[in-house]
A and B are shown apart, each in its own frame.
Chain A
Amino acid sequence: MSAFSVTTCLGAGRAATLAALREGRGGLAPCRFDELPIDAYTGEAEGLDAHPLTGEWAGFDCRNNRLAALTLGQDGFLEAVAAAKSRHGAARIGVFVGTSTSGILETEVAYRHRDPASGVLPAGFDYARRHNTYALGRFVREYLGLGGPAFAVSTACAATSKVFASAARMIATGVCDAAVIGGADTLCATTLFGFHALGVMAQGPCRPFDATRGGISIGEGSGFVLLERPRPEHGADDVLLLGTGESSDAHHMSSPHPQGDGARAAMAQALAAARLQPGDIDYINLHGTATLVGDAAEDRAVSALFGNRVPCNSSKGFTGHTLGASGVVGAVFGALAIQNGFLPGSPHTRMLDPAFTSLYVRTGREARISRVLCNAFGFGGVNCSLILGRAV
């Protein structure tokens, strides 16, 4: 991971994110997004309304691409991509991003402003650069001036986890020399009302693994990673992608396998790919969205594989569930934990579910962390686990 950055309701960039993680300061607040009549907490990213994409990028302007542009502009990411272009050539760098809803917020607004007589959408609606699932991928590829293969992965809440696996394969087979991966998901009525309809939205901020948890809080987030083969100049502070694991539940469209079989298979595959044993993992960044069944299934899966010896928790109490972005957000949090020797806590989780047996950590602490496993699971029963580790 030659460069990486992240934006959530905790703030823009690595320093602001790390400060919030160290202070145990979550970013969830009562939903004020778009004046939607939903009694829920959300994790809203700051400043997106005030920073439209302009000039040659105006056609891409939508909340999702704004958040992506903000994140690409932080933490030396643009400079790192420029250096990678001079090393490999723009055509050798792929773009594999994930999103679940891309810029559908624009289409929601357009549907509210259809011509009352004809039903047509208002002029200026730009399907390809805002609505389409690949709109985010096209924006990132053109904004960074990259010319390699590209696509958007949209596997619900596992999308930005699976792009790590895709990019690693593309690099391993020589299709690319490097890849910009990650993605973005932003608040919209489709997901806020959709999850509300499913009855899985929490009252108040979400409380992962808590005995009284009542469901998810939705957040928005974006993260990007420049993935390259290890180079000699990579040092002890650099973070490597050590392994990935992918599986399917084959169980239900919106409910996980109750024993967490698919989650366990993805974690076991990631360990095998990284040639590691469960005891080699220092911290697990859980999917942990705070639904009743989801947390229970993941606790069983983690307990079956790791017993109660490996510290684990979910970051959703900090950021809410950033849906398609949750994979890369969790991976960046894991990378920050490795680089800064800090195991983050779990705001809002007070009383652990007494039925759970994994080693859930509620309070952040200093800790030497060399290897992190990150989980992301999504609708359709799709599971993805990543293992990140210290370079030396």
Chain B
Amino acid sequence: MRVYLEGIGLFGPGLQGWAAGREVLAGRQAYEPVAAPLPPVEMLPANERRRAPKIVKIALAAGAEAFAAAGRDPAAVATVFASSGGDGDTIHEILSTLASPQREPSPTRFHNSVHNAAAGYWSIASGAKAATSSLCCHDGSFAAGLLEAAVQAVESAEAVALIAYDVPYPAPLSEARPIGAAFGVALLLSPLPSAAGFARLALAMRLGAPEYSRGASPALEALRRNTPAARCLPLLAMLAGSGGGEVMLEYLPDLALEVAVTPRPASGWEDVA
């Protein structure tokens, strides 16, 4: 399963945007895990921008960055959204309301609570009418999303964007399911080598419980372990450096996703078998 990476979007603590984040992930700059201010989401109309939940803003900002980097129009590209817990803030608000004498949640909160809320906002904001899916695989949600997006790109012979994101639950759910800092990542995948394609990703399933690739520093490893969407960090670190190689990403307890990264040679993709 081979796909070509045309664009990356990134939002996380101390990782605001791919251009700045790659310097940190490549080890050229020290990592300072400071909370990132929510990104501006220019693709949403002003009233939606105010109403959209935090997780939607993170997903849309990461997605928009990847599309801009690839020079592609979001309206024409299929999407796969992946999240471990969806919008924990909205779910907590609804659960609290349901447990109160009032019981009935607000209609807006209810439609924001669906796992595919970010996908809906994305489609409305960008005019995207192609296929869209929204997945969950608990801690393995990033790998599940990457697999689904790559398979869809290869099978449809069209580009597919993966947008993965997680936000922490508020208490009391945070005690049952602790999630670290809010994090979003987007990868724009093409089934064919293209001018924008700067790296090739070859995906393979590995049985058993192999050792996962880790974050480059204790702080980055903590982010990887604590936020499911940040399980992508070893892959991003490989992409941030100049060389290629393999990373082992967490997927299921008995199944890992290995990704082999080949950077585009200076002479172009024609020279790569």
Which residues does A use to contact B, with CB under 8 Å? 37, 91, 100, 104, 107-108, 111-112, 114, 119-121, 125, 127-128, 131-135, 137-138, 141, 147-156, 162, 165-166, 169-170, 172-173, 175, 189-190, 193-199, 246-254, 261-262, 265, 378-382
Contacts and interface: CB of A to CB of B under 8 A. Distances in A.
Contacts of B129: 247-250, 261-262, 265
A254 B111 contact: yes
B230 to A, nearest CB: 17
Given A100-B115, A127-B176, A250 B126 contact: yes
Interface centre among B91, B116, B123, B252 (most CB of A within 10 A): B116
Interface string B129-143: 111111111101100
Interface of B: 1, 75, 78, 84-86, 91, 94-96, 98-99, 103-107, 110-117, 119-121, 123-124, 126-138, 140-141, 144-145, 147-148, 151-152, 154-156, 171-173, 175-177, 205, 207, 251-252, 254-255
Given A128-B138, A175-B151, A197-B110, A250 B99 contact: no
Contacts of B119: 155, 248, 380, 382
Contacts of B116: 154-156, 378-380, 382
A22 to B, nearest CB: 35
Contacts of A246: 78, 130-133
Contact of B136 (A132, A149, A193, A262): A132
Contact of A189 (B103, B128, B133): B103
A121 B110 contact: no
A119 B98 CA distance: 15
A196 B104 contact: yes
Given A133-B136, A166-B151, 19 more contacts: A120-B175, A132-B177, A133-B85, A133-B86, A134-B137, A134-B141, A149-B144, A149-B252, A152-B137, A190-B110, A197-B104, A247-B131, A248-B123, A249-B129, A253-B117, A253-B120, A265-B129, A379-B120, A381-B120
A381 B205 contact: no
B144 A381 contact: no
Given A133-B115, A250-B127, A382-B120, A162 B137 contact: no
Contacts of B144: 149-151
Contacts of A254: 107, 111
Nearest to B48: A253
Contacts of A172: 155
A162 B133 contact: yes
A108 B123 contact: no
Nearest to A380: B120
B123 A173 contact: no
Contact of B176 (A121, A137, A170): A121
A329 B147 CA distance: 27
A91 B207 contact: yes
A151 B137 contact: yes
Nearest to A384: B131
A198 B110 contact: yes
10 contacts: A114-B172, A120-B175, A121-B173, A134-B141, A190-B94, A196-B104, A198-B111, A247-B129, A249-B129, A252-B124
